[in-house]
Amino acid sequence: MRFSWIALSALLMFSGCSQKGAFELFNMDETRERAIEQLRTGHILQSFETKAIISTVYLNPIYPENYKDGEYFIGAIYFERNNLDVRKWDLDTYGYTLTMNGKKATVFEELKQNDPRRQLIPVQNNWNRYYLIRFESSAATTLALQLENNQTGKVVLTYQK
């Protein structure tokens, strides 16, 4: 009998919490919420080792007034590399290609540490490189971003327009 009272009181205590959504726990504005909704992340793995990680945010639905002359993304990209490797850190150097629906980007601009556009992506760390990526406008309703390397594999991030 005592167990049922304890169980009943616990049930009543926790039943009041079920009406809250996840975003009510954080103090975010609507733009930040939309950025999190548009965030996609993928990994390229080989023999259980991470070779690359890509996280992107599709900017057109978040800022339609600013990004209307193409398909815009903010990307955070990590490549596995040797710490002694002094080569320039970009896609071509490590043999990767980034395409959207089979077409290469028209703009692939690295964003410096103090660039305010880096705050548009909710992924912030020191080992990623951040890029503003622009593709030509697409009439397709599905946008498939593909990061590929012939030796390690590929990952596809899909967005709906």
- Residue 14 placed within a domain: no
Query: What pLDDT is stored for residue 35 in this prediction?
Result: 86
- Residue 71 placed within a domain: yes
Q: Tell me which of 31 and 133 has the higher pLDDT.
A: 133
Pairing of strands 96-100, 103-104: antiparallel
Pairing of strands 71-79, 142-149: unpaired
Residue 111 DSSP one-character state = P
- For residue 4 the two structure tokens come to 């049922």
Q: Is the pLDDT of residue 14 over 80?
A: no
Q: Is the pLDDT of residue 15 over 70?
A: no
The boundaries of the domain holding residue 154 are: 29-160
Q: What percent of the chain has pLDDT over 70?
A: 78
- Residue 4 placed within a domain: no
- For residue 123 the two structure tokens come to 């992924």
- Residue 17 placed within a domain: no
DSSP string, 32-45: HHHHHHHEEEEEEE
Q: What percent of the chain has pLDDT over 90?
A: 44
Q: Is the pLDDT of residue 136 over 80?
A: yes
Query: What pLDDT is stored for residue 130 in this prediction?
Result: 93
Poorest-confidence range of 42-51, 81-90, 101-110, 111-120? Answer: 81-90
pTM for the full predicted model: 0.77
Cα distance between residue 96 and residue 151, in whole Å: 9
Q: How far apart are the first and last CA of the chain?
A: 57
- Residue 135 placed within a domain: yes
Cα distance between residue 54 and residue 155, in whole Å: 8
Q: What is the CATH number of the domain that holds 112?
A: 2.60.40
Q: Is the pLDDT of residue 146 over 80?
A: yes
- For residue 5 the two structure tokens come to 């009272």
To which residue do tokens 């009181």 refer? 9
- To the nearest whole number, what is the mean pLDDT of the chain? 84
Instruction: Give pLDDT tens digits for 52-104.
Output: 999 999 999 999 999 989 999 999 998 887 665 656 667 777 789 999 999 99
- Residue 13 placed within a domain: no
CB 40 within 8 A of CB 157: yes
Q: Is the pLDDT of residue 154 over 80?
A: yes
Q: Tell me which of 37 and 21 has the higher pLDDT.
A: 37
Total of domains in the chain: 1
Query: What pLDDT is stored for residue 48 in this prediction?
Result: 87
